[in-house]
Amino acid sequence: MKKQDNELMDKIVALCKRRGFIYPSSEIYGGFAAVYDYGPYGVELEKAVKDFWWKRVVQVNQNVVGLDAAIFMHPKVWEASGHVSGFADPLMECKNCHARIRVDHALEEIGVLADEKMEVDEINKLVDENRDKLECPNCKKKDFTQVKKFNQLVRSNLGNFTDDINKEPVYLRGETCQGIYVNYKNVLDSTRVKVPFGIAQIGKAFRNEITARQFIFRTREFEQMELQYFVAPETDMDLYEKLRQDRWQYYLDLGLSEENLKWHKHENLVFYAKEAYDIEYNFPFGFSELEGVHARGNYDLSQHGKFSNEELIYTDPKSNETYIPHVIEASVGVGRTVLAILTEAYTEEEVNGETRVVMKFSKKMAPVKVAVFPLLKNKPELVAKAKQVFDDLKIKYMCEFDDNGNVGKRYRRQDEIGTPYCVTIDFDTLEDNAVTIRDRDTMEQSRVSIKELHSWLEQKINE
């Protein structure tokens, strides 16, 4: 059983809750739409994703440096970027139940090509032409208000001591890359980078998304991993192609299979963009955007130059040529990556007439790498030996110690959290100093001496 199964998403959501990956936010108060909390295994998965991205994007690239800009920024940043005037999605309301509907998505669902960049008139026309086919997802009625654009920026009253939040609005950032653009000059002046160079950042972003659905695919608070490359104008499209290839390979190396990935080229571009592609993943609800790879021209630095009156130009140290660098970017959400990994890993198998649910994470992504079990809980000598093995392994790997229930049950639990190896200490261990290692995927067991346990695991986990 795999993709395009209507029940798959429900099963993933249920497993995430049951096994401590992801919980709905503020659940004891009835939840808070489109916001999620990451539980003990969820944070490990997130951390593995972020570490993998950082290593691949920053650590191994001499010309890429990291940044951690604040979530709050000067409100002018969002005027310069175009978010205050243009960061809006088309919304209409059901006149019967008042459900708010994201119109471009509703049109797409009935097979009409639409996107959020269309003008309101254009999208209202499409709604009029398809009125008989559009129905409210909540009450199924077909009576809607006119479409209007709804700005997605989230407002705050930080530093505003009046009672009116709208008086001097401050925004929670809608994308992390603006923190990179406004620090472009700082990085240039304080480090030894030269064009072409990149600045990378992982951090929270906030968007007032109209519809709350598809679990962690579209949330109102989420983390982005963004790489912004500053390049010479005449080289931008060559480097863009290189970046596209690199990002494709990144997902294969992350453990996603190629058949579940595809490119989507944007035909309807924002006016400044030179080219835009998405890498789509085959989520349980079908192929949808995982990452955006965009050639943005020099719009970002030009706008911030204009609004701040700072000269955001670059002088080539060899030719003395001056220009505003062009930006090419690769931008992806941590949550979307986690959902892709969960989708890829979720597997059901028949074992001895029962269904085994197993998360077949790639070993580098698995939240827990090794579980250690004493065969029996009430045998102190087994427990002591197992603790010794656990204490030794935990320095190197995320490990779990489990002495609860029979070993079969413990295996099932570890299968559901995707632990690649379970190590059991039995009575023979006390004699031969060897343990039984059970492989998550093949369920085969190997006998390995404790002396060789580290090197055995090291080799297997990194293979």
- Closest CB to ligand GAP among 160 and 208? 208
Q: How far is the CB of 111 from ligand GAP (least distance, A)?
A: 23
- Closest CB to ligand GAP among 207 and 440? 207
Q: CA 68, 73, 78, 83: dihedral to nearest 10 degrees?
A: 60
Residue 196 preceded by cis peptide, ω within 30: yes
- Closest CB to ligand GAP among 41 and 281? 281
Question: In the bound complex, which residue of the shown chain has the CB atom lying closest to ligand GAP?
Answer: 333
Q: How far is the CB of 356 from ligand GAP (least distance, A)?
A: 31
Task: State how far the Cα of 67 lies from the Cα of 180, in Å rounded to an integer.
Answer: 7
Strand partners, 65: 199
- Closest CB to ligand GAP among 333 and 374? 333
Identify the CA nearest to 174 among candidates 224, 137, 131.
Answer: 224
CA-CA distances (angstroms) from residue 205 to 150, 154, 200, 223?
18, 10, 15, 6
- Closest CB to ligand GAP among 230 and 373? 230
Task: State how far the Cα of 147 lies from the Cα of 143, in Å rounded to an integer.
Answer: 12
CA angle 114, 204, 296 (to 5 degrees): 50
Residue at token pair 């809750």: 17
Report the greatest alpha carbon distance in the chain: 80
Let me know: does 386 contact 401? Beta carbons within 8 Å: yes
Q: How far is the CB of 322 from ligand GAP (least distance, A)?
A: 26
Q: How far is the CB of 284 from ligand GAP (least distance, A)?
A: 16
Contacts with ligand GAP by CB under 6 A lie at 175, 177, 207, 209, 218-219, 222, 224, 226, 289-292, 329, 331-333, 335-336
Q: How far is the CB of 329 from ligand GAP (least distance, A)?
A: 6
- Closest CB to ligand GAP among 228 and 414? 228
Q: How far is the CB of 77 from ligand GAP (least distance, A)?
A: 13
Task: State how far the Cα of 174 lies from the Cα of 153, in Å rounded to an integer.
Answer: 6
Q: How far is the CB of 220 from ligand GAP (least distance, A)?
A: 7
- Closest CB to ligand GAP among 210 and 453? 210
